Structure 1
Amino acid sequence: MTQNSQETVIGRITSVFGVKGWLKVYSFTDPIDGILGYTNWVLDLDGKRIPAKLEEGRRQGKAIVVRLKGINDRDQARTYCGAEVRVPTSELPELPEGEFYWRQLQGLDVFTVEGECLGRVDHLIETGSNDVLVVHATAGSIDQRERLIPYLPEQVVREVNLAEHKLIADWDPEF
């Protein structure tokens, strides 16, 4: 797999763990140990792509620790710190109707229920209570403001239409 658009980031290697080549991983999956369900990883480190095979892993407190095939000592493991963990999007499970991966929401044009263009979803932020859409202005926006819109389906987010590449939000443009 050579195109990043066909992959999604599911975690980041943060540090070494112990002396036998184990690595600590910050998981972006929910639940966090869901990352252990993927065995064929592509590590993206400073633009270099490294295929990796998950040999074993477990939850260690609030973190995930893993052992990758062929990495057997601390010094070797340290060279992978900072790498993004990617998997092919084709390996992601299908979501129930009305649920979306963040990557599916990024790039959608955002409109109010009245049809005013607020901009485009640049990325999302995870907060304690709900996720937040970060909407950047575009050439067709009503103004050039950045907006933070809570991702609350049915309350604020009324419709997500992937085919038309748009999201309808019940949101006051003054916010």
Structure 2
Amino acid sequence: MNKDNCFQLGHIAKVHGLQGELLLVLDVDFPEDYEGISHVFVEKNNRLVPYILEHLVPQPNNRFLAKFEEFDHIDQVKPFVGAGIYLPLKELPELEEGQYYFHDLVGCTVIDEKMGELGKIKVIYDLDTQDLIGMEYQGKEVLIPIQDGIIQKVDRTAKQVFCQLPEGLLDIYLND
């Protein structure tokens, strides 16, 4: 499986017990949408390797206890700790009108209501404190917070993100 055809569901936080169970942390808004999955792809040496789940038990705070088939001892699963877990993009839940996934934004054109077209989104920074759009503007990377007051509308079909940038945001990046 290719990473370009997948999204990162979360990561493996630690081993649990001696029987080969792992604690998965899901980085999603609605972890209950993934309770019925039967497999995941684990990042190993920059490749995605499929593993069949023997069980997946929900825990508080976006965590799940998981056990992969054919792994019955703590020593077999210790190397998985810290690895990213992925699913194919086709397994993402359908979105309602006006909703979007962060990976949908990459390649979209940012349009400010006052300044017009600004540039294309190159990357999304999914940080603990705040999510940011990374866009190139006049040869410099500009970071735009992903917030309701700033992001006005996303048109996934036209690949456009309409925003209302705070006064002076672009100046911060353009002044040396």
Assess, with a 3 A threshold, how the Cα gap between structure 1 residues 58 and 47 changes in structure 2: closer, same or farther: same
Moved over 4 A (4+): none
Q: Is 1:18 matched with 2:14?
A: no
Supply the distance in 1 between the matched residues of 2:118 and 2:102 (Cα, whole angstroms).
20
SS at 2:140's partner residue? coil
* TM-score normalized with structure 2 length: 0.81
Q: Is 1:157 matched with 2:151?
A: yes
Compare 72-81 and 2-11 and name the one that shifted more: 2-11
Supply the distance in 1 between the matched residues of 2:151 and 2:28 (Cα, whole angstroms).
22
Supply the distance in 2 between the matched residues of 1:66 and 1:173 (Cα, whole angstroms).
47
1:99-118 mapped onto 2 (5 Å cutoff): 99-114=99-114, 115-117=116-118
Compare 119-128 and 74-83 and name the one that shifted more: 119-128
Assess, with a 3 A threshold, how the Cα gap between structure 1 residues 89 and 145 changes in structure 2: closer, same or farther: closer
Structure 2: state its 5+ residue gaps: 170-176
* Equivalent residue number for residue 39 of structure 1: 38
Identity of aligned residues (%): 19
Root-mean-square deviation (CA, aligned residues, Å) is 2.3
TM-aligned CA deviation for residue 25 of structure 1: 0.8
Contact 1:27 1:33 in 2 (8 A): no
Structure 1: state its 5+ residue gaps: none
TM-aligned CA deviation for residue 87 of structure 1: 1.0
Contact 1:102 1:124 in 2 (8 A): no
TM-aligned CA deviation for residue 103 of structure 1: 1.4
Supply the distance in 1 between the matched residues of 2:166 and 2:138 (Cα, whole angstroms).
12
Compare 76-85 and 58-67 and name the one that shifted more: 58-67
* TM-score normalized with structure 1 length: 0.82
Contact 2:105 2:121 in 1 (8 A): no
Supply the distance in 2 between the matched residues of 1:26 and 1:106 (Cα, whole angstroms).
24
Assess, with a 3 A threshold, how the Cα gap between structure 1 residues 44 and 95 changes in structure 2: closer, same or farther: same
- Matching residue's letter, 1:77: V
Contact 2:3 2:48 in 1 (8 A): no
* Equivalent residue number for residue 56 of structure 1: 55
